Amino acid sequence: MVRSDEDLMVRVQTGDEAALETLMGRFKGPLFGFLNRRVGASAADDLFQESWIRVVKARDRFDPRRRFSTWLFQIANNLCRDRGRHLLVEARHRDRVLGEASAAPAPRPATPALTDRIDMARHLAALPDPLREVLVLRYYQDLSEREIAEILGIPRGTVKSRAHAAVKALRQQVEQHDGPVEETRDA
């Protein structure tokens, strides 16, 4: 019998290790993808671990009437925000260093696919944080506006406007870099 995520979390609340393993198996990909796109590959490993630690620590506060996925992404997103705040100063410094590094000739990437991946990651990373988090949850996690609003703690109207702004900003970036989107699509 396939148990729902919420049922499994209720079992986790009673200390069921197998239920935790099943939940982790179900959500490891989506969560890791979300963290990768929110904070980058270098921090995703740490935040992946930390998210599950928080899930276990806060297990008694999980309300089975809520969706587990929403709760999990809420925890992960809060961790991303905390990290963003703590690393703001370091990030400025890193940007300076990266700026200097990008002035030097870059090594040629191995494959076009890798180039595409890096370019896309850069486009995403260049989006302002509030736009990026909405876009990642909406497109890559395929969550509804209601769920995103709950995860981010903002009204649904704000989710909608941020999603539109994110699409517009991303389109502009891609067009500046690659040319019109339609051409890229046909290619």
Residues found near another protein in the complex (CB under 8 A): 12, 15, 17, 20-21, 24, 28-29, 32-33, 36-37, 44-45, 48-49, 52-61, 78, 116-117, 119-121, 123-124, 138-140, 142, 160, 163-164, 167, 170-171, 174, 178, 181-182, 184-185
Closer by beta carbon to another protein, 17 or else 100: 17
CB 32 within 8 A of CB 140: no
Min separation Cβ 142 and another protein, Å = 8
We find the least distance from the C-beta atom of residue 34 to another protein, in angstroms, to be 9
List, as one string, the DSSP characters of 130-164. HHHHHHIIIIIS---HHHHHHHHTS-HHHHHHHHH
Q: 59 near 67, Cβ under 8 Å? A: no
Q: Which is nearer to another protein, 90 or 182 (CB)?
A: 182
Contact 131, 139 (CB under 8 A): no
Nearer CB in complex with another protein: 103/113? 113
Q: Which is nearer to another protein, 34 or 67 (CB)?
A: 34
The rounded distance, in Å, linking the Cα atoms of 58 and 52 is 10
Considering the complex, what minimum distance in angstroms separates the CB of residue 68 from another protein? 15
Q: In the complex, what is the shortest distance from the CB of residue 43 to another protein, in angstroms, rounded to a whole number?
A: 13
Query: Taking Cα atoms as reference points, which of 45, 53, 46, 44 lies closest to residue 72?
Result: 53
- Quick count: other Cβ atoms within 10 Å of Cβ 175? 14
